[in-house]
Structure 1
Amino acid sequence: MRLLCLLLLAVTLQQPARAADYAVLDGQAWIDKASKPPRPRLVDIGVPRAAAGLNLFQLNSFRPGGEDVVAKYQTPDGEVFATLYLYRPTFPDARLAATATGEVLKMRFGKEMKRLPDAILPAGGVPGVAYRTMVDDATFEMSANVSLGLKASFAAFLQAGDWLVKLRVSGPEGRKDEVDAAGRGILDALVFGKAAQPRAAPAYRLTECPDETYAAGATRLPGGPDAMAAALVGTATLGNPAAAVASPSADLCVMRRDASSRALVLVLRPAAGAATPAFMLLGDAGNLVQVVAESGARPIVISHGVGGATLYGPFDRPPSADQLIAMKDGDTAWSGTPIGTVAYDRKGPKLTLDPAAMGLPAR
């Protein structure tokens, strides 16, 4: 009996204890075994059960299929809390994700926001992979009548394989050092599998583009072989934003902000590139429009989201900022019907082309 008790004790000691009780609200999206950190079913990125004084309390997902999952943390008193998002957009660029969130913060808090210097942090023991933005003394409002008071907020972004990882940590302004330590601690505690290694995060600047005129706009061309070639060139960048960077510099400049929209709408181009749009950011949840104008192929436009994308074109030239913004509002008179879609399966992105939209004979 004594030997049995000792064996049971040994087994118990080998099992990592949960730092706190937590709920797995979507068991189809998460793998949660006691011997390993919890991880999303679709990507090998382990998340901590506890880090820097915060305990995991919930694992969940935002959509069926597990391509957009979330882990939530908090301190025992609930005053400092964190949300870790892991999602698979068809254009997983951590630089654009960091830019979008920085601009959303500006829209929300304006001149009253105290933004600390940005930094590039390690994650999972890998140096220089996570963009960090930190805000201090910002008033967070739940509604017109409910305010959470002055808060410090930490945000970090990194690309791992063809996934994005986004971390938000917030807490009282007086505990900003704890907020920063919690953010760094959760990043440090991530475990990346071989197929989900984090990519380097090059330093970059976001500036306003110089005064320039590019209003000619694009015209949809007839289909045929040009449409097929453009679609194949454009989709070669899916899951690999580095392949789509037309400029050797990571610097970006802002061509247009859509002041009429309550949500973020931002048209960007590489600062050292041609005076034509490259991206339109739509909020900070992974939705964006990309203009692919590769040498040797007609330009196409790809509307990216989480888990899928839609292709338009080909065009005689890159579209103008006005045309992209009109597309956001549902005006597709200039872009025409989509020529194809992209959806993810277990093997990666799968391209489906519409022969009729491309002017090709149906098989």
Structure 2
Amino acid sequence: MPKRALSLLSAVLALSAPAFARAAEEREAWTPTATALRADAAGIGMPQSVAGLSLAKSGEVSNGGKGIDNYAQYLSEDGAVQATLYVYLPSYADASLAAYMTDKAVTERFGARTRRTAYSSVAVGGHANGAIRAVYDDAADGALTTAAAFLHAGRWLVKLRVTGPTERRKEVLAGLDGMLAGLQFDDASSIHATRPARLAACPANEGGDARLTAQTTSAPADISLPREGQEPLCIRGKVDTAEGSYDILQQAGAADGAIIVPVDDAGTMVAFDPAKDGYRLSIHSVGQTDLYGVYDKVPSARQIAQILDGKDPQTAQAGATADYAANGEVTVRTAGVKLR
């Protein structure tokens, strides 16, 4: 499995002063002006001051120097309210899935007392239903309110996170809504309509272990699964690995359709897409897709866990890897890519 990007939830919690110092050397992805900060490749910007929050630092979460995994952190005057703008390039972009995985990460990080009090599509950049807005109260045993928004513009995902003390909830929400209103787009028509994922249980279809029948050395193909909450998804089962438990998702009512396993809130995902002689395996992450070949059927949950843990003997290396550059170029490399 390719090296994962740092979870975006973990990243915002880890942005300490030393991290800021390192990030100061990684400003290639951002261009500051007198009043704004702009991610040039994405054509997306934000004012340097918005809703009582001011830009503190900017840099790259991972893939230093490539400009595909970028953050900008904003702080209130006393530093108690913290906000982060992420502009990043997952090889499988879906704001609805990003919201779904962040929802899981927030609950896991802040505990069962955390309550999701808002979760709906909102307008952004002049587009109705252009973003998903989520609010979480009573996080960290009642100490914090955290809020987030997610949108998909062109090839890029944008994620906003604002967190602060519960007693300053109004500032947290004003910060999120101010940042949503403050987003600037070179091409607002590139914003995808999105809505929260609609999930239900679906019949398990565990047919035993699958066999890898052929390697893949061609360029990645688009996964045949509706994105951005366009169609209901269902949970086919769960994968339990050394690092956590993940849902196996497919389109509701499409038993022979694509299968995906989202892994984190930074865009890491395992996909099995119908192919001529079975299901083609690909693993997606920020700026990269690894292609492992075709299985004669969908692998079992146990096999998927082995793939994620790097212990599946059939996928010791990828047949091909596609690297996605910030300028839109895609380079395909064949063989020689180790699973871990």
Given the two structures, how large is their TM-score scaled by the length of structure 2? 0.82
Match in the other structure for 2:290:
310
- Aligned pair partner of 2:165 in 159, 164, 172: 172
Match in the other structure for 1:323:
303
Match in the other structure for 2:212:
220
CA 1:193 to 1:321, structure 2 compared with 1: closer, same or farther past 3 Å?
A: farther
What is the aligned residue count? Answer: 312
Cα distance in structure 2, aligned partners of 1:246 and 1:205: 11
1:151 aligns with 2:141: no
Shift of 1:137: 0.8
- Aligned pair partner of 1:300 in 261, 280, 285: 280
1:255 aligns with 2:208: no
CA 1:263 to 1:132, structure 2 compared with 1: closer, same or farther past 3 Å?
A: farther
CA 1:248 to 1:155, structure 2 compared with 1: closer, same or farther past 3 Å?
A: closer
Cα distance in structure 1, aligned partners of 2:207 and 2:37: 50
Cα distance in structure 1, aligned partners of 2:324 and 2:228: 28
SS of the aligned residue for 1:326 comes to helix
1:214-264: CA deviations, max 9, x gaps?
Answer: 1323211145xxx56xx45xx232xxx6x5439995322223344554545
Cα distance in structure 1, aligned partners of 2:149 and 2:228: 24
Indicate if the aligned counterparts of 1:169 and 1:179 stay in contact, CA closer than 8 A.
yes
1:94-113: CA deviations, max 9, x gaps?
Answer: 11111111112232344311
Match in the other structure for 2:4:
none
SS of the aligned residue for 2:178 comes to helix
Indicate if the aligned counterparts of 2:24 and 2:58 stay in contact, CA closer than 8 A.
yes
What does 1:1-363 correspond to in 2, within 5 Å?
25-34=25-34, 37-62=36-61, 63-139=64-140, 150-194=143-187, 197-207=190-200, 209-222=201-214, 227=216, 231-232=218-219, 235-237=220-222, 244-245=225-226, 249-258=230-239, 261-263=242-244, 265-274=246-255, 278-294=259-275, 296=276, 298-335=278-315, 337-345=317-325, 346-354=327-335
Which structure is higher in strand share?
A: 2
**Percent of aligned positions that are identical:** 31
Cα distance in structure 2, aligned partners of 1:111 and 1:28: 39
Indicate if the aligned counterparts of 1:69 and 1:87 stay in contact, CA closer than 8 A.
yes
Gapped runs of 5+ residues in structure 2? Answer: 1-22
CA 1:276 to 1:324, structure 2 compared with 1: closer, same or farther past 3 Å?
A: farther
Indicate if the aligned counterparts of 2:100 and 2:196 stay in contact, CA closer than 8 A.
no
Gapped runs of 5+ residues in structure 1? Answer: 1-22, 141-148, 356-363
Match in the other structure for 1:146:
none
Cα distance in structure 2, aligned partners of 1:153 and 1:248: 23
Indicate if the aligned counterparts of 1:100 and 1:264 stay in contact, CA closer than 8 A.
no
Indicate if the aligned counterparts of 2:68 and 2:89 stay in contact, CA closer than 8 A.
yes
| Stretch moving more, 187-196 or 300-309 | 187-196
Shift of 1:24: 5.3
SS of the aligned residue for 1:217 comes to coil
Shift of 1:200: 0.6
Cα distance in structure 1, aligned partners of 2:149 and 2:206: 34
Aligned-partner residue type, residue 33 of structure 1: T
CA 1:173 to 1:247, structure 2 compared with 1: closer, same or farther past 3 Å?
A: closer
Higher RCO structure, 1 or 2 (CA under 8 Å, sep 6+): 2
Larger radius of gyration: 1
